[in-house]
Amino acid sequence: TDGIWALEVSSTGSYSARQPITRDVCINSDSITQIDNAVLFATDRGIMLISGSTSQCISDILDSELAFSINSLPHLNKLVNNTRFNSTEFQFLTFREFLKTCRMIYDYIHQRIIIHNPSCTYAYLYSMDSKQWGMMHSNIMSGLNSYPDALAMTSDNDLVNFSQPDNTIEPITALAVTRPFKIDDPNMFKTIDTIIQRGYFKSSHVSQVLYGSNDLFNWHAVWSSTDKYMRGFHGTPYKAFRLVLICKLDKSESLLGFTVQFTPRMLNKPR
């Protein structure tokens, strides 16, 4: 409970603690995962990567005191139910709560870590190459020790191999919700009139909804579109915005970002 200590062997063959490597305490023994030159484990701080005598947290960007709820955005639950998803699948835990009973699978071939929780319908993905995080639908119950393959058993008693190439040709339905974004001055009111999604995909394969807020608690639907273009609209100015994207992408398609055009509204100045 005092962290991770280096051990040395005495002349009599006994082990003794020599020095502490890190004060990080593992909160879940099932999360300990060996990768090529390091070890991953869950702590109250997040997921730690220890290599040699140094350790670093790789999940700081995911840390949040509150879990996201689709009920925080008006009408989002109806949009979700109109896709192949079900709103009950979007019941999230805070990341720290998720880690308490999580397990990890190391996909050596694709250089990624799958962090899953048997009680949740989603899993986190971490790319060792790009250092980026993602999420996916999950019904993984447990991983199997079969290096270099990443084998897992699902709740349907199926054995899946995440190291195999994905040869599916069916479109992938995905839901993306951005974090709140404030353009330029965070305290300035803005009216957005154009948003264009960027990437390699057919225009009709992405639908989007724009939300606005002045306090980051109460959100209001501003506009929506059934393709990558959202333009030609005006309305009440807001300080912060969020985007919801409903995508049906082919295997070769991808999203890269979006372009936004807005007009500042100086409501605190007489005109």
Report pLDDT for 170.
Answer: 82
User: Quick one: tokens of 108?
Assistant: 């050596």
Residue 130 carries which DSSP code? T
User: Quick one: tokens of 168?
Assistant: 């599916």
pLDDT tens for the chain, 271 residues long, are 577 777 778 778 787 776 677 788 899 999 999 998 899 999 999 999 998 878 899 999 998 888 888 888 888 887 777 776 777 777 899 999 999 999 999 999 999 999 999 999 999 999 999 999 999 989 999 999 888 899 999 999 999 999 988 777 788 888 899 999 998 888 899 999 999 999 999 999 999 999 999 999 999 999 999 999 999 888 889 999 999 999 998 888 999 999 999 999 876 665 5
Model confidence, pTM = 0.84
The SS3 assignment for 175 reads strand
Q: Going from the N-terminus, what domains does the chain have, and what CATH number goes with each?
A: 4-62 (no CATH), 174-263 (2.60.120)
In the chain, the DSSP E strands lie at 4-9, 15-22, 33-34, 39-42, 47-51, 54-57, 103-107, 112-116, 122-127, 133-137, 140-144, 151-154, 159-161, 172-177, 189-200, 206-213, 220-225, 229-231, 240-249, 254-265
Between CA 49 and CA 56 the distance in angstroms is: 5
